Amino acid sequence: MAEARQRVDKWLFFTRAVKSRSLAAKLAQAGRVRINGEKSDKASDLVQPGDTLTITLDLRILVYRVLLPGNRRGPAEEARTLYEDLSPPPASEKPLPDALPAVRDLGSGRPTKKERRQTDRLRDHS
């Protein structure tokens, strides 16, 4: 059963959650990886099949259930066989479809180029 365990930094690298193993180690050391709800502060913490990892990245949160330890950093199809994705769906940041563009009253705000030229002409003639 000891062979089914793997370092968390290697596993994150093999699953393509991060671009490099050193980034995976930094992520774990920063406390941004939780193994079964407990913070991981070492890259050498071990994961095994059945563990749930919560990974906090810059723009999203990933929740993975470990299915298999990895042997190498292979193609994305191979990496997807190592975990089950339990991540929540991303929050939608779309603008409301009924929103109208802001309307500005004439004469308020900065003048346009055309208005500024007209003002300059008036000043030059007087």
Cα torsion angle, 46, 49, 53, 57, sign: positive
Confidence (pLDDT) at 1? 47
User: Are 56 and 1 spatial neighbours (Cβ–Cβ below 8 Å)?
Assistant: no
Across 97-120, average pLDDT: 78
The 10 Å Cβ neighbour count of residue 6 is 20
Q: pTM for this structure?
A: 0.69
Confidence (pLDDT) at 90? 74
Q: What is the pLDDT of residues 93-108, one digit of tens each?
A: 665 566 666 676 776 7
Q: What is the pLDDT of residues 15-66, one digit of tens each?
A: 999 999 999 999 999 999 999 999 999 999 999 999 999 999 888 899 999 9
**Nearest partner of 39 among 5, 3, 8, 10, judged by Cα:** 8
Domains, the chain, ranges and CATH?
A: 2-85 (3.10.290.10)
Burial of 33 (0-12, 13-18, 19+ CB in 10 A): buried
